[in-house]
Amino acid sequence: MIHILDNPIIVGQIRSTYGVFGWLKIFSFTRRKIDIFSYQPFFIKNINTNNSWKRLDIDSWKSNKNYLMLKINDIDNKEKAKLLTNYYIFIDKKQLPVLNNNEYYWIDIIGLKVINLENYFLGVVSSIIETKANDVLIVKKNIYDYFNIYERFIPCLYNKVVKKIDIKNKIIIVIWNPKY
């Protein structure tokens, strides 16, 4: 059966095999590592070829303090499991819970243009860092940046720094001095 993901999101990666019975160690990209298992079914695809998506039907999973492991149906030995190492684990975005107003997934923020209140184009959000105090937007410079700042670290503090996030128009409006 061919599976098509309308809006694929990477949530983890299969890193290595574990034991001789086909278990796999995985790395989770979710905020709480164990939450990856709440977004099943998983899909994988070799991004270097035009293969179709392959659904992974999970038989069981385990967690310990160092890593997560999963056992996939129909994979019962180390040799079969090894064929899946280094594959990324995807889900479809529609598998994510619906958020409240003024809540966004990071995937929705990455790629948005960042403009200050004076309409100065600061750059594009390339990634986000989670800190204990607040998330921080990493904004890669606009190639025409007068101040030639390669990367800006802008705290994602709503109403203090971030005035508006407009997903539809793909912009974030901030109170930010372009010299920083």
Q: Find out whether 62 and 103 touch, Cβ atoms under 8 Å.
A: no
Phi then psi for residue 141, to 5 deg, are -65, 155
Q: Pick out the chain residues at pLDDT < 70.
A: 1-3, 46-51
- Is residue 26 located within the same domain as residue 86? yes
Q: Find out whether 95 and 39 touch, Cβ atoms under 8 Å.
A: yes
- Per-residue pLDDT, 48: 64
116: domain CATH number is 2.30.30.240
48: domain CATH number is 2.40.30.60
- Per-residue pLDDT, 3: 61
Number of domains the chain contains: 2
